[in-house]
Amino acid sequence: MRAEEIRARRRLMASRGAKQTFTYVGIILMSIWAVFPLFWMIIISLKERIYTYDPSVWIFQPVFENYVSVFAEKNLGKFLINSAIVSLSTTFLALFFGTLAAYGFSRFKVKRMRGLDL
Amino acid sequence: MSNGVSIHTDKRATSRDLHNTRRYMPFVAPAMVVMVLLVAVPFIAVVLLSFTNYELAMPADSFKWIGLRNYDRLLFGTNKLLYYSLGISVGMMVVATVLQMLIGFFCASLLNRDIKFRGLAIACLLVPIAMTPSIASQIWKLMLNAEFGVINYFLKKLFNFSVVWLDKDNSLPSVLLVNIWSMTPYVTLTLYAGLRSLPLEPYESAVIDGANGRQVLMYVTLPMLKPLILLTLLFRSIDMLKMFDVPDVLTQGGPGNITEFIGLHIYRTGFGVTTLVGRASAISVILIVLVGIISLGMIKLMSSEEKG
């Protein structure tokens, strides 16, 4: 009786361990799958230009000429400022009009809104 | 006790005067004006343009109303590309949505288990959501390159074979692959948030009643998660139907017209291969009708689920 109990418990522990291994393998595969394109982007940004189309080079001296040239030659600062202007102003406008409308809909009864609130 | 109840009484329900006077108008009007200017006006313009022969850079005097001729040529003409585009779009919508939901639910239930480094895993999942789809598609195009891509490099090293990813047989699955990469994390995080918000009591009673894992999934988790699953399904399918950026960057609709989804078809008709804006507008109207039918059907399904 007792030996059987121990064996059952051991089997339970083993299956729990297997389940946990499965979970972690799944999580790790999922994370690598999600991150790999970003990782590859960073790798290519640090390689010299001639290695862009050569995935077999893994050990290399990182170069920062790409990062320097996007600021010096391609005017990246200007583009970043453009993005900041557009995103800040759209966020502000959308929040302003959206908050007003949401307040109006929730504070007062609107006849045609009945049945639309999710 | 009665005090506690009266505090929670809804003030809106008792103040009847607010019901009749349109006091909400000053608050709602600005948003309505914005919506009319940015949604209704372009919509009406597209519908009107679809009845004309408008082309880019055409002389003004040949611009005229041609009634239903655009629709006639699209639906009953010799060029059957519209049907092909609609077919692959609907097919991609079904396949991609189903795969995204299945993989997303699987990953969400993995995340919901008792694990370490959950925050790190969620941070990894945010990468595809944060990356601009067109930039991500450029990187995928580089990685899927048949001769110099990193994916074929790994396949050759590990399994000693390689795939020409963007040729005529494999370009549709490649678009599907990139889509699944970019959209599954969204489904995963939504469903994970849903799983976290479920009450624990039904699980306790299911375990006490001796339910096994499969039964807990089928009779406890899925029924409780159903509204959220249906909502995600609705958003994902509409999004998949109007997919544009991934195939535009990855294949430009090619090789030939094999990956010319309906969004790309509209673009290429109106502004790319030909400049027939009128006909492109007609395709847009057909797409709007299709999206409307699909979303109406799904909303009907959702509300009937809520009632019954």
Give the pLDDT confidence of B58-72 residue by residue, as tens digits.
Answer: 787 888 888 888 888
Mean pLDDT across A8-13 = 72
Residues B142 and A51: their CA atoms lie apart, in Å, by 13
B47 has a pLDDT exceeding 90: yes
B308 has a pLDDT exceeding 80: no
Mean pLDDT across B101-115 = 90
Mean pLDDT across B102-116 = 89
Predicted pLDDT at B212? 83
Q: Kindly report the average pLDDT of chain B as a whole number.
A: 85
Report the DSSP beta bridge partners of residue A52.
Answer: none
Q: Which residues of A touch B107 (CB under 8 A)?
A: 26, 30
For residue B36, what is the DSSP state?
I
Tracing tokens 């000693």 back to the chain, one arrives at B160
3-state secondary structure of B65: strand
CB contact under 8 A, B27 and A41: no
Half-sphere exposure of A12 (CA within 13 A, CB side): 6
Question: Judged by CB atoms within 8 Å, which residues 22-81 of A form the interface with B?
Answer: 23-24, 26-27, 30-35, 37-38, 40-41, 44, 52-56
Mean pLDDT across A5-34 = 83
Mean pLDDT across A53-66 = 82
**Mutation for B interface: A12, A20, A25, A40, most B CBs within 10 A:** A40
**Interface residue A101 vs chain B (CB under 8 A):** yes
Q: How would residue A99 be classed by pLDDT, with cut points 50, 70 and 90?
A: very high
Predicted pLDDT at A84? 96
CB contact under 8 A, B131 and A37: yes
Half-sphere exposure of B198 (CA within 13 A, CB side): 22
3-state secondary structure of B191: helix
Nearest beta carbon to residue A27 from set B24, B110, B142: B110
B13 has a pLDDT exceeding 70: no
More confident call, A87 vs B207:
A87
A11 has a pLDDT exceeding 90: no
CB contact under 8 A, B24 and A108: yes
Other residues' Cβ atoms within 10 Å of the Cβ of residue B30: 16
Paired tokens of B6 = 């009266």
CB contact under 8 A, B142 and A40: yes
Nearest beta carbon to residue B24 from set A23, A38, A104: A104
Half-sphere exposure of B127 (CA within 13 A, CB side): 20
- CB contacts < 8 A, A to B, total 95
Residues B105 and B89: their CA atoms lie apart, in Å, by 23
B174 has a pLDDT exceeding 50: yes
B21 has a pLDDT exceeding 50: yes
Residues in B whose CB is inside 8 Å of some CB of A read: 12, 18-19, 23-28, 30-32, 34, 106-107, 110-111, 113, 115, 117, 120-121, 124-125, 127-128, 131, 136, 139-140, 142-143, 145, 147-150, 153, 181, 185
More confident call, B161 vs B180:
B180
CB contact under 8 A, B121 and A30: yes
Mean pLDDT across B104-125 = 89
CB contact under 8 A, B149 and A55: yes
Q: Kindly report the average pLDDT of chain A as a whole number.
A: 83
Minimal-distance CA residue of chain B relative to A32: B124
pLDDT tens digits for B232-272?
A: 988 888 888 888 888 899 888 778 888 889 889 899 888 88
Residues B282 and B277: their CA atoms lie apart, in Å, by 9
Question: How big is the CA angle at B281 (ends B279 and B283), to the nearest 5 degrees?
Answer: 75
* CB-count exposure of residue A51 (10 Å: 0-12, 13-18, 19+): middle
Q: Which residues of B touch A56 (CB under 8 A)?
A: 153
Query: Which of the given ranges, A56-65, B14-23, B25-34, B57-66, has the highest pLDDT on average?
Result: B25-34
Q: How would residue A63 be classed by pLDDT, with cut points 50, 70 and 90?
A: confident
Phi and psi for B110 in degrees, rounded to 5? -65, -45
Mean pLDDT across A65-71 = 87
B95 has a pLDDT exceeding 60: yes
Predicted pLDDT at B8? 44
Whole-model pTM over 0.90: no
